[in-house]
Amino acid sequence: MKVNGTPYRTVWMEGSVVRMIDQRWLPHRFTIVDLDTVEATATAIRDMWVRGAGAIGATAGYAMAQATLLGSGEGWRDQVAAAAEQIRATRPTAQNLFFAVERVVAVIDRSADLKAAQAAASAEAQAIADEDAHACEQIGEAGAPLIADGARVLTHCNAGWLAFVDWGSALSPVYKAARAGRRVSVVADETRPRGQGAMLTAWELAGEGIGHAVIADNAAALLMERGEIDLVIVGSDRIAANGDVANKIGTLEKAICARHFNIPFYVAAPTSTIDWACPTGGEIPIEERDPDEVLTTWGTDAAGEIVRVRTANPTSTARNPAFDVTPAALIGGIITERGVVKPGELARVRR
């Protein structure tokens, strides 16, 4: 995808340095950050400089390659093992993170020495990133036929190209439909507490010239009742083997509303997001984040400076679960790079 005419991926690697679009400052400032240690890369994942299933996975893969490239001495394998544990601990719900770490660790374990491990880990991390970008484009191809000319699509959080290496999951069908000449507009939930819909989805759609409107999270049901939403497409951070889906907090209530108003509800995700070892959504760990994310907000002031302000009562605390789980029964279909399947038919797309 392009920013001001220049093509970018969300994350990439140059030498032993992981480079990424720093999503903390969007849409107010477009910044590339360089991460030259595993600790810095872990911080970027944990503190959401990078976020989104595929982008987190690619970053985790690059972090493991980075660990081998920076490894030294007889204890290099212990250094890599420590790095793997550090990366695994950053975002417990994100399946693509674990998928990427295990893939790179596997090729490192098969390597005879550090030099071989460095080459193998770098190649595997790049393969993970390339596969993510390709899978997301295929998700767009598979999902675009679901979007009729004139369709109004509701999204939640950001599952566009910023959430993956390129193209995205939930927005990829929108991009493909628009580029095929179909009129499509998007209603983007703001997605409190971090506002990924208002900040990131809206920024992407504006860059693509796609009509859109940001709405408060609790406005979607009214628009559904009025007949102003034709379908819902969301992303996923982990899919259980039975088709239950963990995604950004607030997804479950959108699925419930869509079922009530008989509006198609789809989840878009590459097959790397499916956790075949997790039988149901009840086994998916739900990350609880800093309450300050709920109690405060970021934005630009009159002088254009990015500032953080408290919006809640000064003496109050907050709860901040980052995800919820939507039962398979509420999902009309899962859009993958291998086609659209019913949640109960996930085995059809198993690698």
The residues carrying an active-site annotation are: 237
Instruction: Give residue 156's identity as a one-letter amino acid code.
Output: H
- Maximal CA-CA distance, the chain: 66
Scan for tokens 């003496």, then name that residue: 315
Could you tell me if 330 and 265 are in contact, meaning their C-beta atoms sit under 8 angstroms apart? yes
Token pair of 209, please? 């010239």
Measured between alpha carbons, how far is 43 from 157 in angstroms, rounded to an integer?
Answer: 21
Within 8 A by CB and 6+ apart from 196, the residues are 51, 157, 158, 248
Closest C-alpha to 90, from 161, 40, 125: 40
DSSP label at residue 111: -
Whose CA is closest to 161, among 113, 117, 210?
210
Neighbours of 348 (CB within 10 A): 11
Measured CA to CA, the distance from residue 196 to residue 205 in angstroms comes to 13
Alpha helices by DSSP H, the chain: 38-46, 53-69, 76-88, 95-109, 114-143, 172-179, 196, 202-208, 220-225, 251-260, 292-295
How many Å from the N-terminal Cα to the C-terminal Cα in the chain? 27
Cα torsion at 52, 54, 59, 60 (round to 10°)? 100
Residue keyed to tokens 């081998």 = 68
**Chain centroid, CA 202 distance in Å:** 15
What is the Cα–Cα distance from 184 to 89, expressed in whole angstroms? 39
